[in-house]
Chains A and B, each alone.
Chain A
Amino acid sequence: MPKKTARKSHGDNGDDNQRAARPFWSGTLTFGLVSVPVDLYPGNRTNRTPLRMLGPKGEPLARRYYSQKTERDLDNNEMVRGYETDKDKYVIVTDADLERLAPEKSRDIDLRRFVELKEIPPLYFDRSYFLAPSEGSEKAYKLLSETMEKEKLAGIATFVMRGKEYLVAIFPENGILRAETMRFADELRSPKEIGLPEKKRVSAATVKKFENIIAKHSDRHLSLDELKDEKTEKLLKLVAKKHKQHKDLVEVEEPEREEGKVVDLMEVLKRSLAGKRKAA
């Protein structure tokens, strides 16, 4: 669906995940008085099949903002961020304002509370990231992750990344710390707020019937084969077929293109975890 108005969100965790060759964010993980410098990398691959917009003859296109008033295309420095307080009335908020409004210690992920991971309802989980040790923090990093792994705990904290504050659960997996961003409590509705009816007495026979169905169709594990993305597979197949048949192919000349570079996230992470980021 085409968007009618251009919007810029306060946060920015756009679709450029795959292009992060450098860390997405760097900061310090703290528990008690111990601090562990870390680099953060995306743990999800998004938009595996990016489609590029091209002109009728295959010309590369670019997205531009233009003024409704003058109909003229605008450069980045001719635009500002505005919050609409009344119809067509805006309060301007600059990058410098946002930077100064960031809470104190915004570069820290301060683990103030440790909880059992399975205690967190999955409704809270949003996006996944990995934390890698940096600046020679391997020892403290390993100490934290090994201790949490033994106790099956997750550390809870808030931190600021790219102009937005996140609630995050940090827990180890294979010795590596995963940072799972979560929704704040006020970002989730309750059944009451939605207006769902409250539970009344249910028939024990119906419960038993469902329990039987559940028992009959239960497995110990969920196979990853169940989580296939069929639409993407089909799209990739169609593309491969047309490519092979040389159907609808266009050559696009773009001497200076930076944004399209796709970096293998796994390779970047492997290097970083081996402590070789600087050498690369």
Chain B
Amino acid sequence: MDPCTRRAFMKGGALSALGIGLGGMPRFLLRAAAAQGTAVRRKTLIAVFQRGAVDGLSMVVPHGDPDYYSARGAIAIARPASGQPETTVDLDGFFGLHPALSPLKPLWDTRRLAIVHACGSPDITRSHFDAQDYMESGTPGVKSTADGWLARGLQATPRASGAPFRAVAMGPQLPRVLRGEAGAVAMGSIAEFDVKGEGGASMTGAVDARRGFESMYEQGVRDLLYGTGKETFEAVKMLKAAAPQRLAPANGAQYPRGRFGDSLKQIAQLIRADIGVEVAFADVGGWDTHAGQGNERGQLANRLGDFAQGLAALERDLGDRMDDVVVLTMSEFGRTVRENGNRGTDHGHATAMLVLGGPVRGGAVYGRWPGLRRDQLFEGRDLAVTTDFRALFAEVALRHLGVAPTAPLFPGFTVKTSGFPGVLV
């Protein structure tokens, strides 16, 4: 039996034991409704994957490192200069934010934003595909791992309710990091997440179609297709009851236009609808800046602006809920320290990752800085990794999501609290 089948089977069994059937209100819905007033709020992790390998040296600029400006010419981000908007936004006298990330500066100032620099994978691959795969499976160098580390984390902290929205990914595909026995929902958008027959979802005809499809996919949990189908209809019912789309962005939050902003906006809606979201995932591409990446302005600056405005809007929208939320950003590797021949950068090694939220010990850059002198570089060309991404991810999983230290989060990697970067309270 493949893992997904096993997962769906076990889950199906658990649900039928709870008496959830076709007729009437599923019990988990009633329980979820009842829980809204009383239960303690769950912790939520929002993981954001910057696919394509973001240039960490432009995102979080080591302006105090003398070798930064000699390695980079046209694409260097100008030294901080107070009063000048298009320069590095200084953080601590050594590091600074790309000016397009200035929407995140207030979070740094209020100690809700931490940065882990020179973070990455112990594996040396410079393949986007493999490196993303390793960062999502949590097993650098091992391709046969069937599931993702977040799925394993959720599986290790079971919830009796079997709530379908424990893990949700915005987008047309379920990311590798959430594949596994814990189950997760992927959706392009909340609005499209229903069966829609003639005349829209509210017509009786549509109800029949939905019931028909639901019954077909309920006929035993034989494989991925059936298992997913079954989970899908549980999720549809729950979403209809919760109607998250009615929740307009709060506190004047303004999301940037485009897919990334839409994803974050809908993640906030799902969290605010109290349907038990523990892990939400969004990804954003466009970081593979081999040519013409720009400096304070240009291609990368535009991507970073969108990225920062989205995160800042999310933080604002969630308001007090951010006390229980951690946002973790990641990218498969960084980029070459030296600018290439095309005012761009090629595939490198370490990059910078952001951690933001209420539980974060913000206002600090974590991790040992390996330096940018040629002899300090990995293979003579790339920023060396001084923080294994698994140490950071493990800290978030254990301290924030409450995953047990014994859980098989990262097979082959010993999780030691002493090895944590220390980004969380």
A and B interact physically: no
Chain B residues within CB distance 8 Å of chain A: none
